[in-house]
Amino acid sequence: MNRYDPIKIEQKWQAVWDTTHPFKATEVNNQPKMFLAEMFPYPSGAGLHVGHVRNFTIVDVLTRFYTQQGFNVMRPFGYDTFGLPAENYAIKTGIAPQEVTEQNISNFRKQAKRLGFAIDWTREINTSDPEYYKWTQWCFLQLYKKGLAYQKESYQWWCPVDQTVLANEQVESGHCWRCGHEVEKKKMKQWFFKITEYADELLADIDALDWPDKIKTMQKNWIGRSIGAEIDFDIVQEGSKSTKPSSSSKSSKSSKSRQSKANHTVTIATSDSDINREDDISFRHIKVFTTRPDTIMGATFLVVAPEYPGLDYLLTDDTRDTVIKYKQDALKKSEIERQENKEKTGVFTGSYAVNPATKEQIPVYVADYVLASYGTGAIMAVPAYDDRDREFAEKFDLPIIEADLIDRDLYGTPKTTYRMRDWLISRQRYWGCPIPIAYDKEGNPHPIPEDQLPVMLPEIQDYQPDKSGRSALAKATDWLKVQIPIKDEKTGKIHLEEMTRETDTLDGYACSSWYLWRYASPHDKAAAWDPIAIKYWEPVDVYVGADHAVAHLLYIRFWCKFFADLGYLPFREPIKKLIYHGYINAPDGKKMSKSKGNVIDPLDVINDGYGADTLRTYEMFIGPVELDAAWDPRSVGGVYRFLNRCYNLCFKSDDFASPEDIRDNGSKPSDPEAKQNIIIRNKTIKKVTTDIHKYQFNTAVAALMEYVNELYKQGASEEDLIILAKLLKPFAPHLASEMLEHLNATDEWPSWDNQYLVSDTIELVVQVNGKLRSKLTVNASDLSDKDNITKLALADPRIAKYTSDGIKKSILVPKAKLLNLVV
């Protein structure tokens, strides 16, 4: 006897799809388009995990659903292949990352096919393919040309023994993870993208996005706009300390600390090479940023960050040693350590500043609770209004003045600042997209001409980074040399000049900041993307993922706005609808991890005999798409039983009651039992269709289960089975295809008929004072007649016993099929 054999059925249909390519998308203008994509995966050696399956199945359900509905659907696939795991593996084994990546991709492709995903395999992209990263480099050059890719000195962790930069994770409580030597912060030149240029627009456009509120809020917080003012404080120099001392009682408090340090000498230091004399921080002013310029009357001291560029100008002979020591200690601390230790620390710089509102001289401190990278790196401390300033004031015995508030604009210039910083994109790594820049003898950067792209990653033997903290690329001596055409300013002639290539590569997020546009013309040799294909397909209609809430999803919005400004994109937001789904945890509720040994391998689930359809349907049924869920092996069995019931209903219908008399054969049946089937069928079509539209896949599956349960009770007509197969196909495409073939039907998505959603008689709920007391079967047409319905209800003995004293009023709610009698 034939029984449900998912493995056999799935092999059959996967072979069919592999030869007929039914999911290939081309531009067709008489059909509405639908562009669906998941966040493309990093193809790890471990293969697909259950999280991938959830991610890809959501896209697959939508792909098949919209295809069945007649949309022209594009569902491509890609691999985000640059990154540390492949490079570290190469360092360890000497096997080229290119090779490992190719193996992993081929494994991912095989597994994706094993899951029956409806992918257009002609639109497969790989970010480490030179044909792809050529255009990543092109994107970089566009940003560079517009001044949005630039170099800047920034502090990095540096191990003086190993002579290398270290990532935050490679620093263990202030020491190098390799040699154990104390690390220091070193200023190094790095590449940045100027995302802050778009901060306002990125913020303003968030509200209109059809994205989860959680993500929108996270992006808003990340951008973190603060509206305030910048205020200049004059620094008191030697001989000018006679600045009008106030004689008010308020100021007498603050004069105490000033007097004790009255005789100091400000000298200009020359020792600290960190000081950049081009900086606009004048040695006679400290510019602070505040969101509360109205509290300036209460500002009783200033605080600058340890990294504050003008710090050296503030020091005196008395304070220099202490301050330098404090600064060095602070630079050793990681951001995390600074945050963990909330105990305020700091030292007096030796200088005073004049509060422009009170004309008081107030001391200037250096303290690590002020961050160099935010605002101006200096604050006016108002201990009466700010908890952190108060804490500091109390510790250092500084005056706390409850001064009156004043007009915000009196002493400062309005200024908006952002928490978001520019995007640091250079990586001292081999396995990334080379930055298309070369340096002349003076060290000035020059862009690689576009006709020389791609700057290929050279094949090398030893992937170990070199001793200077640069990537292994620095050792590819032949590759480093490049001839760059230079136009002579005077003669206009072009000559070639030998230069040295940039050895940093791009942050992987750069590669994924434009891939959604590449999908529109994935093999385009002439451009990063084809404007006609872009106009047809983009923006993405639904994008599905579980990660990168701010990073990737902010960067791609930034690039979209940038390329829209250049005229390359006809839209300013790349993603219309975002589904941000939850994680799947281990059965014990904890995160799956190799070390805990609680990983569920999706391929094991398939090969255990459940098959891909069960796996897919289970992961859609597991819970609301946006929530985390715990894997439950027993529920997997429940879904298998459901599919088995579908199979039996279709292929073994003789084994159970299936009354011939309810086969409706397309004609309207008069038999009331058959009418019941039609109602259930129409309700199911409506429920599944609207649930998928709302991305409520769990209840869509539940509705199908309910439908099957009803069909077992009532018996199933051929039409019932066809509808079941069509509705099932997005979730369990192999089984559904097998059923549709057997039933000789197409997969065209069915529609429901509103006239079949209600039966002639309905069950009316009767409440007394809001409590359920009885249920009456009444004609649907009577629902409009309140008096009659009330009379019927009062005649019911179960109601009558509560209404012997009469009723005050009667409320009929036809929509809810409910009558409430108030006594």
Partner RNA sequence: GGCCGAGUGGCGGAAUUGGUAUACGCGUUCGACUUAAAAUCGAAUGAGGAAACUCGUACGGGUUCAAGUCCCGUCUCGGCUACCA
Residue 816: CB atoms within 10 A of its CB come to 10
Task: Compute the distance between CA of residue 707 and CA of residue 720 in angstroms, rounded to an integer.
Answer: 9
The verdict on 285 binding RNA (CB under 7 A) reads no
Radius of gyration from C-alpha coordinates of the chain: 35
Structure tokens at 171: 């620093």
Task: Compute the distance between CA of residue 318 and CA of residue 315 in angstroms, rounded to an integer.
Answer: 8
Contacts by 374-377, CB closer than 8 A, 24 or more apart: 374/289, 374/417, 374/419, 375/288, 375/289, 375/417, 376/230, 376/287, 376/288, 376/289, 377/304, 377/305, 377/307, 377/308, 377/309
**Measured from the CB of residue 197, what is the shortest distance to RNA in angstroms?**
18
Residue 481 has φ and ψ, to the nearest 5°, of -85, 135
Q: Locate tokens 């599944």: which residue?
A: 688
**Measured from the CB of residue 552, what is the shortest distance to RNA in angstroms?**
13
CA distances from 443 to 145, 440, 452 (A): 18, 5, 21
Q: Are 674 and 664 in contact (CB under 8 A)?
A: yes
Tell me the residue length of the chain.
823
The verdict on 344 binding RNA (CB under 7 A) reads yes
**Measured from the CB of residue 634, what is the shortest distance to RNA in angstroms?**
3
Helix pair angle (611-621, 733-743), 10° resolution? 120
Which of 69, 170, 291, 658 contacts RNA by CB under 7 A? Answer: 291
Give the nearer residue to RNA in terms of CB position, either 94 or 659: 659
Structure tokens at 31: 């059909």
Backbone dihedral region of 206: left (phi > 0), alpha (psi from -120 to 50 degrees) or beta? Answer: alpha
Which of 292, 552, 577, 675 contacts RNA by CB under 7 A? Answer: 292
Which of 177, 712, 782, 807 contacts RNA by CB under 7 A? Answer: 712
The DSSP secondary-structure symbol of 808 reads: S
**Measured from the CB of residue 813, what is the shortest distance to RNA in angstroms?**
4
**Measured from the CB of residue 123, what is the shortest distance to RNA in angstroms?**
32
The verdict on 818 binding RNA (CB under 7 A) reads yes
Interface with RNA in residues 476-515 (CB under 7 A): none
Interface with RNA in residues 92-151 (CB under 7 A): none
The verdict on 791 binding RNA (CB under 7 A) reads no
The verdict on 168 binding RNA (CB under 7 A) reads no
DSSP letter string, 732-756: SHHHHHHHHHHHT---PPP---GGG
Task: Compute the distance between CA of residue 547 and CA of residue 197 in angstroms, rounded to an integer.
Answer: 25
Interface with RNA in residues 736-765 (CB under 7 A): 763, 765
Burial class for 230, CB neighbours closer than 10 Å (0-12, 13-18, 19+):
middle
Q: Are 389 and 298 in contact (CB under 8 A)?
A: no
Span near RNA by CB under 7 A; candidates 30-38, 285-293, 481-489, 776-784: 285-293
Span near RNA by CB under 7 A; candidates 352-360, 538-546, 768-776, 782-790: 768-776
**Measured from the CB of residue 821, what is the shortest distance to RNA in angstroms?**
8
Closest CA to 208 of 675, 596, 720, 557: 557
The verdict on 355 binding RNA (CB under 7 A) reads no
**Measured from the CB of residue 286, what is the shortest distance to RNA in angstroms?**
12
**Measured from the CB of residue 95, what is the shortest distance to RNA in angstroms?**
34
Give the nearer residue to RNA in terms of CB position, either 556 or 680: 680
The verdict on 552 binding RNA (CB under 7 A) reads no
Interface with RNA in residues 380-399 (CB under 7 A): 386, 388
**Measured from the CB of residue 548, what is the shortest distance to RNA in angstroms?**
11
At 555 the three-state DSSP class reads: helix
Which of 211, 369, 537, 559 contacts RNA by CB under 7 A? Answer: 369
Which of 156, 290, 361, 682 contacts RNA by CB under 7 A? Answer: 290
Give the nearer residue to RNA in terms of CB position, either 345 or 677: 345
**Measured from the CB of residue 92, what is the shortest distance to RNA in angstroms?**
30
Q: Which residues contact 88 (CB under 8 A, 6 or more apart)?
A: none
**Measured from the CB of residue 357, what is the shortest distance to RNA in angstroms?**
15
Helix pair angle (611-621, 50-68), 10° resolution? 90
Backbone dihedral region of 751: left (phi > 0), alpha (psi from -120 to 50 degrees) or beta? Answer: beta
Give the nearer residue to RNA in terms of CB position, either 22 or 638: 638
Give the nearer residue to RNA in terms of CB position, either 129 or 230: 230
Q: Which helix (H) or strand (E) holds 25?
A: none
Site string for RNA, 401-420 (x = CB under 7 A): ----------------x-x-
Give the nearer residue to RNA in terms of CB position, either 630 or 780: 630
**Measured from the CB of residue 46, what is the shortest distance to RNA in angstroms?**
22
**Measured from the CB of residue 693, what is the shortest distance to RNA in angstroms?**
13
Give the nearer residue to RNA in terms of CB position, either 138 or 712: 712
Which of 377, 432, 602, 715 contacts RNA by CB under 7 A? Answer: 377
Which of 164, 471, 767, 803 contacts RNA by CB under 7 A? Answer: 767
The verdict on 328 binding RNA (CB under 7 A) reads no
Task: Compute the distance between CA of residue 63 and CA of residue 57 in angstroms, rounded to an integer.
Answer: 9
DSSP letter string, 436-475: -EEE-TT--EEEPPGGG---PPPP-S--SPPTTS--GGGG
**Measured from the CB of residue 430, what is the shortest distance to RNA in angstroms?**
28
Q: Are 50 and 24 in contact (CB under 8 A)?
A: no
Give the nearer residue to RNA in terms of CB position, either 137 or 585: 585
Closest CA to 254 of 367, 383, 165, 125: 383
> How many residues interact with RNA (rule CB under 7 A)?
82
CA dihedral 232→235→241→243, nearest 10 degrees, is -10
Site string for RNA, 38-77 (x = CB under 7 A): ----------------------------------------
Site string for RNA, 210-249 (x = CB under 7 A): ---xx--xx--xx-x-x-x---------------------
Which of 25, 125, 286, 305 contacts RNA by CB under 7 A? Answer: 305
**Measured from the CB of residue 218, what is the shortest distance to RNA in angstroms?**
4
Give the nearer residue to RNA in terms of CB position, either 107 or 699: 699
Give the nearer residue to RNA in terms of CB position, either 107 or 154: 154
The verdict on 702 binding RNA (CB under 7 A) reads yes
Give the nearer residue to RNA in terms of CB position, either 342 or 487: 342
Structure tokens at 13: 């249909």
Q: Are 723 and 608 in contact (CB under 8 A)?
A: no
Which of 246, 322, 452, 648 contacts RNA by CB under 7 A? Answer: 648
Structure tokens at 668: 């309207």
Interface with RNA in residues 654-693 (CB under 7 A): 656
Task: Compute the distance between CA of residue 31 and CA of residue 254 in angstroms, rounded to an integer.
Answer: 76
**Measured from the CB of residue 323, what is the shortest distance to RNA in angstroms?**
17
Give the nearer residue to RNA in terms of CB position, either 108 or 385: 385
Span near RNA by CB under 7 A; candidates 284-292, 659-667, 746-754, 788-796: 284-292
The verdict on 701 binding RNA (CB under 7 A) reads yes
Which of 339, 413, 751, 759 contacts RNA by CB under 7 A? Answer: 339
Give the nearer residue to RNA in terms of CB position, either 204 or 772: 772
Burial class for 801, CB neighbours closer than 10 Å (0-12, 13-18, 19+):
exposed
Interface with RNA in residues 608-647 (CB under 7 A): 622-624, 627, 629-630, 632, 634-635, 637-639, 641-642, 644-645
Task: Compute the distance between CA of residue 114 and CA of residue 27 in angstroms, rounded to an integer.
Answer: 28
Task: Compute the distance between CA of residue 79 and CA of residue 99 in angstroms, rounded to an integer.
Answer: 14
